[in-house]
Amino acid sequence: MTRVGAAAAMVDGEVVPGDVEIDRGSVVATGCDGTDRARGGLVVPGLVDLQVNGFGGVEFRSADRRGYARAATALAGHGAVAVQPTFYGSSIDGYERALRVLAGVRAEPPSGCRFLPAHLEGPFLSPAWKGAHDPATFVPPTVDAVGRLLAAGPVGMVTLAPELPGANEVIAALVGAGVVVSVGHTDADSDTVRRALDAGARHVTHVWNAHRRYAPRDPGPAGVALTDARVTVGLIPDLVHTAPEVVTLTARACRGRLAATTDSIAPAGTDLASFGSTTIVAGAARLPDGTLAGSVATPAGVLANLVRCGVDLADAVDACGGAQRRLLGLAESHLRPGDPADLLVLDDELRPIRTIVGGATVWEAA
């Protein structure tokens, strides 16, 4: 058994003084005496991100095994213990290639954060709300296309536009295969979104961004997201995609089912000022026409932003990992005995000090 070496831990959402003891990949005890509390450090459940297009200079849809290894270390250094690599803007063949690479990475995982089954943000999206995606890569939703994708490699989530012909049949096929379906890049009205939920969809991708706009008599996906308890609500609280007031509003309306995400692209976690046709200015990643193209946010940065917007720290930690675990059916982590030792140690400014995955330290601040 080993001690994490921290002054306190967040146990069941409450800060408990004392260290955390771990053994064989699990939490054994909290509130342990004998820690030098002058060292500080708060242990929280490690962060989980459902939408990571790239990180640390690596874009996942084109990454090889070495790229995944670099990104795994970089993500762990920013507090993530698990992420869904997100593939977008590809042909079916392109998605298949990326999924085959991910299957190999998951079979022999690198050190660092864990890579969960992929999030496919496409190809069943609406050209009306393409965002930074290339609509030439969009295809109609069909069960045959789904079969090809699922056969290629591990798929955990698919974002689609439910108003497209054939979407509900595809939702049923995905749900039947154990895949989480998310509504996004869509012009669907509220009734159409609810029908998608009835068919088995359970998530909304980056609410307030790249979907039909909220209006008093046409609330669209955002209206359903804020009011329907069946939905886990994705949000990019980088304070670029969403203003602080919108972050606060969404967090209050969706407490316990808010899943904050970075929607990060390859330059995140680096000093890169550009990547392909995307440039980064004042923390915003944009295409030449000004369209936002993902973010350069980090998992721990998103957590800190939630707290800056007035979200209680326990709720912010839940929004950066707890809701994601519940949605995906992963083992929950409340730092109770027997919970997985996938942990993050934060300093007083909510900056990562140490990241632990499966009981092993995979990153530690110098």
Taking CA atoms, 44 is separated from 71, 111, 342, in Å, by 22, 20, 9
- Annotate 185-200 with DSSP letters as a single string: SB---HHHHHHHHHHT
Instruction: Please tell me whether the overall predicted TM-score, pTM, comes out greater than 0.75 for this model.
Output: yes
d(CA 160, CA 250): 22
C-alpha angle 78-84-85 in degrees, rounded to nearest 5 = 90
Asked if residue 38 has pLDDT above 60, the reply is no
- Find out whether 75 and 269 touch, Cβ atoms under 8 Å: yes
What architecture is domain 1-45+333-366? Answer: Roll (2.30)
Q: Does domain 47-331 have CATH number 3.40.630.30?
A: no
pLDDT higher than threshold 90 for residue 33: no
Distance CA 135, CA 227 (A): 30
Per-domain residue ranges of the chain? 1-45+333-366, 47-331
310-352 pLDDT per residue, tens: 999 999 999 999 999 999 999 999 999 999 999 999 999 999 9
Model confidence at 39, pLDDT cuts 50, 70, 90, reads low
At 35, the pLDDT band (50, 70, 90 cuts) reads low
Pair type for strands 2-3 and 19-23: antiparallel
